[in-house]
Amino acid sequence: MPARKGPPRPRSFGTGAESSVEVVGAPRAPLRDFYHLFLRLSWWLTIPQLVAAYVAINVVFAFGYQSVSTEIVGMRPHSFADAFYFSVQTMGTIGYGAMYPSGQHAHMLVTAESVVSLLVTALITGLVFAKFSRSTARIAFSEYAPISPMDGIPTMMIRVGNERSSNVADTTVRVSMVRTEKTAEGMTFYRMYDLQLVRERQPALARSWTVLHRVDAESPLFGSTPAKLEADEVEMIVTVSGTDDTTMQPVHARHAYLADEILYGARLADVLSEIDGGKMRLDVGKFHHVISTPATESFPHSWKEPT
């Protein structure tokens, strides 16, 4: 089954662009959280903002140089353009050619801008290096989490894989289920359950790993149906963590499955096959594909792909 097209589905308990939770009443501390906000920004937003900050600082000092234009040799009287270019030369330590300071006030402004330039350059260099060196995960998650019998036991399957050519060493996966419940007092409660996995650790995560959860009597999903999952607003949250074997830095990734993305009576398509010579072939083109499984007396579900 091909991957779903269109904008991402809203996630009730997600974060970032996929979150549908509106947070109100939280104290605002933009300066205190500036470092984290900067690291989360994309490069397409980071570079224009750094350029805008650089230009803004030069504009501020340009007004000062414009007011003392008579103390700067080679500057046209009250010319903002010359004052701006003089500020750029000072901040960039390019060296003075046709224009240079000659008066007391101009020298004071040059000294102030030199100090500001030193601090700003060090700050921007540190931020850019921290952002550039930060390791980010490129973990792929199967679009659906199907449930079908495996060795006679209903089993939920989730496929994860590393989209990079490197490996994620000592990989750990966690799967939690969130659903709406009513307490004895009638209060609505969003309860979270940890799902027991057949295997939750992997020595190295490469292109594909199928995570399995058996829906037995100990499972929070035991006795559930597609209609019940919808009614309980069930959401599966999958987290993957490990160490990138190239950068040797920790990486994390998370994905959420809504109730309609948990398919009863289906399984993930096989991505591994044996070819001539005893070699194995991994077809990542089938990473998101699911296959319908026949209904049985113990598992009366048979999913059909919508037309």
In the chain, the largest separation of any two C-alpha atoms, in whole Å, equals: 95
**One-letter identity of residue 301:** H
Locate 284 and state its tokens.
């990542």
150 and 175 co-located in one domain: yes
Taking the C-alpha atoms of residue 284 and residue 282, their distance in angstroms, rounded to an integer, is: 6
For the chain, 307 residues long, give each residue's pLDDT as a single digit of tens: 444 544 445 555 544 445 566 777 667 766 667 777 778 788 888 888 889 999 999 999 999 988 888 888 888 888 899 889 888 888 888 876 788 888 888 889 999 989 999 998 898 888 888 888 777 778 889 898 998 888 888 889 998 888 877 788 888 999 999 988 887 777 888 888 889 999 888 888 888 888 899 988 888 888 888 888 888 888 999 999 888 877 788 888 899 999 888 888 888 888 777 777 777 777 778 888 888 888 777 777 877 776 5
Alpha helices in the chain (DSSP H): 34-40, 43-67, 80-91, 104-133, 226-231
282 and 192 co-located in one domain: yes
Domain with 81 in it: 34-133
pTM of the model: 0.70
List all residues 6 or more positions away from 32 whose beta carbon is below 8 Å from its beta carbon.
none
128 and 146 co-located in one domain: no
Locate 149 and state its tokens.
């019998």
Map tokens 């792929």 to a residue. Answer: 140
Indicate the residue among 94, 116, 133 that finishes a domain.
Answer: 133
238 and 168 co-located in one domain: yes
92 and 144 co-located in one domain: no
